[in-house]
């Protein structure tokens, strides 16, 4: 398949790229600062341009999203808006604009995260954005068939424990290779409206 991979140069994106490439797919990498196509993910005006340049693809795979982390009492409305734009609307718009452009049986795979179900302090904006995307995925799935849409919702990566482990005390980490496998499952499988929690 021809796959558009957003956030291709990040920690997760790199692992997803490797897993999809090993499966023989042709991958068009997209990143803010690297990849085949440069793209500011949070600007919906640029999404049309991205699809224009990419041409017809069979799967759109996202490993990109950013949200602010602060105690709830220090959050401003702008922080929740930044989280909404940076992880929810950005990915939703990728789907919205992709529906008429990708293959008839193409798929979308979005990234969310464990904070949708298991909160941590300073994580209200992240939880909110993840919850928004997961509910959107379930809802969009019943409208876009035979196109498909799923989310991958990982906990902290084993490879990122040194950096982020303190935020997830006692929570089992997940290997990047296993997260990447969930993307393969979404892209090559037949399920839709799923949230692959791992």
| Binding interface with its own copies (CB under 8 A) | 44, 71-73, 75, 77, 80-81, 84, 88-89, 92-93, 95-96, 99-100, 115-117, 119-124, 126-136, 138-144, 193
Please confirm whether the linkage preceding 83 is cis (ω < 30° from 0). no
Q: In the numeric block, which tokens belong to residue 96? A: 């919205």
* Smallest distance from its own copies to CB 193, Å: 8
* Smallest distance from its own copies to CB 154, Å: 16
Write down the H helix ranges in 23-116: 44-54, 77-83, 90-98
Q: In the numeric block, which tokens belong to residue 40? A: 């500011």
Closest residue by Cα to residue 54 from 76, 32, 75, 30: 30
Radius of gyration of the chain (CA): 16
Whether the CA torsion 168, 170, 175, 178 is positive or negative: it is negative
Which C-beta is closer to its own copies: that of 22 or that of 56?
56
Which C-beta is closer to its own copies: that of 5 or that of 67?
67
Q: Which residues contact 140 (CB under 8 A, 6 or more apart)?
A: 95, 108, 149, 193
Which C-beta is closer to its own copies: that of 147 or that of 186?
147
Which C-beta is closer to its own copies: that of 29 or that of 124?
124
Which C-beta is closer to its own copies: that of 186 or that of 192?
192
* Smallest distance from its own copies to CB 42, Å: 11
Which C-beta is closer to its own copies: that of 44 or that of 184?
44
* Smallest distance from its own copies to CB 67, Å: 11
* Smallest distance from its own copies to CB 54, Å: 19
Helix (H) or strand (E) holding 186: helix 176-188
* Smallest distance from its own copies to CB 125, Å: 8
Which backbone phi and psi does 5 adopt, to 5 degrees? Answer: -110, 110
């Amino acid at each position: 398949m021809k796959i558009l991979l957003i956030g291709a140069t990040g920690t997760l994106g790199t692992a997803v790229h490797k897993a999809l490439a090993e499966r023989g797919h042709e991958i068009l990498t997209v990143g803010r600062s690297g990849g085949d196509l440069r793209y500011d993910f949070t600007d919906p005006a640029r999404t049309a341009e991205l699809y224009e340049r990419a041409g017809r693809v069979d799967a759109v795979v996202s490993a990109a999203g950013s949200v602010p982390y602060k105690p709830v009492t220090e959050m401003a409305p702008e922080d929740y808006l930044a989280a909404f734009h940076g992880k929810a609307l950005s990915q939703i718009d990728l789907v919205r604009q992709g529906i008429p452009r990708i293959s008839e049986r193409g798929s979308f795979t979005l990234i969310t995260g464990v904070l949708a179900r298991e909160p941590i302090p300073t994580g209200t904006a992240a939880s909110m954005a993840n919850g928004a995307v997961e509910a959107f995925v379930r809802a969009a799935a019943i409208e876009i068939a035979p196109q498909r849409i799923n989310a991958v919702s990982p906990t902290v990566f084993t490879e990122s424990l040194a950096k982020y482990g303190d935020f997830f005390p006692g929570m089992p980490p997940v290997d990047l290779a296993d997260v990447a496998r969930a993307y393969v499952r979404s892209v090559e499988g037949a399920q839709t409206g799923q949230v692959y929690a791992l």
